Amino acid sequence: MPFEWVRQSDHLVLKLSGDCTGEEKPSPADTFAAHQKETGAKHVIVQCVDCGHISGNFLRELLAIYKSLKSMNGQIRLVGASESVQGFLKSNGVDRVLIHKLSMKGALADFGLAKSRDIDVNFINPFLNATVKVFKIQCFVELKAKKPYLKSTSDPALLGDVSGIISITSETFAGTLAISMSDTIFLRIAKNMLGEDAAAINETNVDLIGELANMILGQAKVELSSLGYRVEMALPSCVWGKEHKIKHFGSGKCMVLPFETEWGMIYSEIMAHSSASERSVA
């Protein structure tokens, strides 16, 4: 099946893959009706990153969804479509109906949803999921995710003794991901990963925290890509010491993701802000 419906908190995502012929049974329009009835969602984002071709029949399915949404004052947006797909929409005169956006955030802004939340759950959840998965598989540590919160000026500038930092870049936003923990937790994790005890953080083992940040971003990238966020990888860096500070890139809001372990808390910080290209289309 070249399409899949994904339910989000306040909209539906139609993920396309391969060639969409319009001969699929049940059809996208029929399955939309069922999902819409159950969720009450009035907005649809068509994720086209993995779509190679859209036929005339499939285009009619999308237009049927558009008409249904319009009848309930809803909207539809396409994200991540190739130049050939965009050209096909334009040649059929529907590019102003099936409007294309550069990113998920641009589509949500059109719906009036992106600016209505301090926390974009659709962006944060992939990092929550990725952190839990990486620590379980790579560190043999079970994490319990706690409620994320926005970091304020009154919060401590530093939440750990050692931190791994990696930049987050894409065509529509930029920022940083940092993972911080106490030296006690880090040394326990280092033992799990390296199989040997370490008395202190040093230049030999500290690279592990940077690798963890790299693996978390890499894992999150898979889920983010499916939601329309195209993320580029970068080289991680490490800082440690009781007085070290995390320097985030950009001026956006900083989100803190706390995780509980049997030895104490681990914290992830995410800061991302829109680039000029995103602002121009959002």
Task: Pinpoint the residues of the chain covered by CATH 3.30.750.24.
Answer: 3-101
Continuous segment of H or E residues that includes residue 84: helix 83-91
Contact 152, 251 (CB under 8 A): no
CATH number of 121-281: 3.40.1550.10
Residues 241-267 have pLDDT tens digits of: 776 777 666 556 788 899 999 999 999
List pLDDT tens digits, range 20-37.
998 988 999 999 999 999
Provide the pairing of β-strand 173-181 with 264-274: antiparallel
Q: Where in the chain is the domain with CATH 3.40.1550.10?
A: 121-281
pLDDT at residue 149, rounded to an integer = 86
* Residue 205 and residue 190 in contact, taking contact as beta carbons nearer than 8 Å: yes
pLDDT of 132-190, one tens digit each? 999 999 999 999 999 988 887 666 665 678 999 988 876 556 778 899 999 999 999 99
Residue type, 258: P
Q: What is the pLDDT of residues 34-64, one digit of tens each?
A: 999 999 999 999 999 889 899 999 999 999 9
3-class secondary-structure state, position 63: helix
Higher pLDDT, 201 or 245: 201
3-state SS, residue 37: helix
Please name the fold of domain 3-101: Transcription Regulator spoIIAA (3.30.750)
What is the rounded distance in angstroms from the CA atom of residue 98 to the CA atom of residue 63? 8
